Copies of this chain bind each other. A is one copy, B any other.
């Protein structure tokens, strides 16, 4: 999952950008000033920044000039200042692209992708291979593999998606209908039993004794969750 930081004092812009980029499966973090942006950068791995210029506190140009001293990640300026001199300043100070408001969200998305494509293809960032581990279960999303105590097990696509959902949120209880909505992207009508069957199949493959699951547990009347419970 790639993390994108959007920095703008206009909350509507931040939430709009969040919506558009989340739809493309980016993880979007918002903030409202240059200072905040620099703080977040220190604490968290960010793969791309979308930065306004005029903001209360530290402005975007200063913030980018600052972060360029240590950091190399792609920066796209997104701002109402449409003067060419502003663009030139932004790009010369270390920005990678410059988009003016009002902006076309699809164009912004395309520009984000273009920057990330280059950054990642040139090895500027290793995308952490998405591996989820709970107890003896290891799920590798890129390779679509799952192993239990070192032994590979073969899951069907649906089983894999359900397991990934639960493993991404260990301990969290998901009702059958919520699992259905998230995995099928569809409205869950009478899907209870369908889920129950898939859960059984997953248990048959993961658990020593499917009738007394160590990992994939049921919470009565609520749904299913996965836990690294270890001993039964």
A residues near B (Cβ < 8 Å) are 72, 74, 84, 87-88, 91-92, 94-98, 104, 106-107, 110-111, 113-115, 117-119, 121-124, 140, 142-144, 156-158, 160, 169, 171-173, 219-223, 225
Q: A143-B172, A220-B157 are in contact. Are A88 and B107 (CB under 8 A)?
A: yes
Count of identical protomers in the assembly: 2
Q: Are A107 and B87 in contact (CB under 8 A)?
A: yes
Partner of A113, one of B91, B104, B156: B91
Q: Are B110 and A87 in contact (CB under 8 A)?
A: yes
Q: Are A157 and B122 in contact (CB under 8 A)?
A: no
Q: Taking CB as reference atom, which chain B residue is nearest A157?
A: B221
Shortest A64–chain B CB gap in Å is 12
Shortest A223–chain B CB gap in Å is 8
Residues of B within 8 A of A91 (CB): 107, 110-111, 113-114
21 interchain pairs (CB within 8 A)?
A: A72-B121, A84-B104, A84-B106, A87-B110, A88-B104, A91-B111, A94-B117, A96-B114, A97-B97, A97-B111, A98-B111, A122-B124, A123-B123, A142-B171, A142-B172, A143-B171, A143-B172, A143-B173, A143-B225, A144-B219, A156-B220
Shortest A214–chain B CB gap in Å is 16
Q: Taking CB as reference atom, which chain B residue is nearest A171?
A: B143
Q: Taking CB as reference atom, which chain B residue is nearest A103?
A: B84
Shortest A55–chain B CB gap in Å is 21
Q: Counting chain B CB atoms within 10 Å of each CB, which of A92, A114, A140, A157 scores highest?
A: A114
Residues of B within 8 A of A122 (CB): 72, 118-119, 122-124
